[in-house]
Amino acid sequence: MSETTVKKSVTIRRSIAEQIEERAGAGGFSSFIDAAAEHWLALLKAQEIVEDYEETNGPLPEELLEEVSRTWHGE
């Protein structure tokens, strides 16, 4: 299932555009930007979930943060 797309104009630094084109090719530029935006939104949503949890329950336990860090780093 494919989502409908919209054409938007964005302004980014030339150096960033060049790096994207090097990695994705000129034809893959929009897909790269779409994936990057989706990733960034997922990180923002995760941050909001943690902030909502901490607002209700207090800070996450240090042991849990250490476990998450070890898992993140493949330990």
The string of pLDDT tens digits covering residues 7-41 is 999 999 999 999 999 999 878 999 999 999 999 99
Query: What does the pLDDT average to over 46-73?
Result: 94
pLDDT in the model for residue 2: 66
Residue 73: pLDDT over 70:
yes
Confidence category of residue 3, pLDDT binned at 50, 70, 90: confident
Cα–Cα distances in angstroms (integers) from residue 51 to residues 8, 34, 37, 41, 57, in the given order: 31, 26, 21, 15, 10
**Residue 1: pLDDT over 60:** no
> Running DSSP on this structure, what letter comes out for residue 8?
-
